[in-house]
Amino acid sequence: MVNSPELRAEGLPANRRAVVFDFDGTLFDSLPLVLRALKHALAPYVDEPPTMAIFARLGGPPASFMPQLVGHPRQVPAALRRLDAYHREHSHLLRPFDGARGMLEVLHARGVPLAIWTGRDRESADWLLHENRLADLFNVVVCGDDLPTHKPDPQGLREILTRLGVAPAEALFIGDADVDVLAGHACSVSTVLIRQAREVPPEVRAKAWREVVSPAESYELALAWAEDAEPKRQL
């Protein structure tokens, strides 16, 4: 279930900009492990392992995108079991990116509403946030199994804005995948794309408010954007 609606505007300062974050590849340095887990899950069924470019175009929890990766629908349940087993065995290795905690703590101390919108399942997202003592910094967390839709459908982002009580123009969304940019644009929310070293399709780049190479650069943008009272983007 999505975080309690009582959080909508309780205790949140008026006229403050909100920042929404993707999880994997944005706050947590988890994509190398996620890709290794996918390769392990698909090894018996496909010849070509998934690449970062392919993964960046996928949205939602594994059950929603696995059918696109395996050769036959009958193979999906076994691939999902292999993925889950690998991920559980190695999830203790996942940690926030350098600078993520400090940035979140600064924004939280300033009273800026913070949220997460992720395709990761609720159980693992909550576990990782609590394990790394980050859970109390977020007002709302929407996970891949909370809603029937997934990125790039903007429903999850609209849900977050409603619960925070902010308009699209008052929010910034930061993610590392094409589906993040497409979803943010569809919701009229300024979106920062962390592209790392991969090539991004021109039609996606055109819809991003800013494009950065690393998560650290996006954290600097979030801090600057949250304290700037003037609109910085027209969609």
DSSP string, 108-142: HHTT--EEEE-SS-HHHHHHHHHHTT-GGG-SEEE
Name residues whose C-beta falls within 8 Å of residue 136's C-beta, 6 or more positions apart in sequence.
none
How many other CB atoms sit within 10 Å of the CB of residue 148?
9
Q: Is the pLDDT of residue 15 over 70?
A: no
Under the banding of pLDDT at 50, 70 and 90, the label for residue 63 is: confident
Confidence of residue 13 (pLDDT cuts 50, 70, 90): very low
Contacts of 206 (CB under 8 A, 6+ apart): none
More confident residue, 12 or 89: 89
Write the CATH number of the domain with boundaries 15-30+95-227: 3.40.50.1000
- Smallest Cα–Cα separation from 133: which of 100, 161, 156? 100
Q: Which residues pair with 96 in a beta bridge?
A: 28
| Percentage of the chain exceeding pLDDT 70 | 86
How much of the chain exceeds pLDDT 90, in percent? Answer: 59
Q: pTM for the full model?
A: 0.78
C-alpha–C-alpha distance, residues 35 and 50, integer Å: 7
pLDDT at residue 48 in the model: 77
Q: What is the phi-psi region of residue 61: left when phi exceeds 0, alpha when psi lies from -120 to 50, beta otherwise?
A: beta
- Per-residue pLDDT averaged across 72-97, rounded? 87
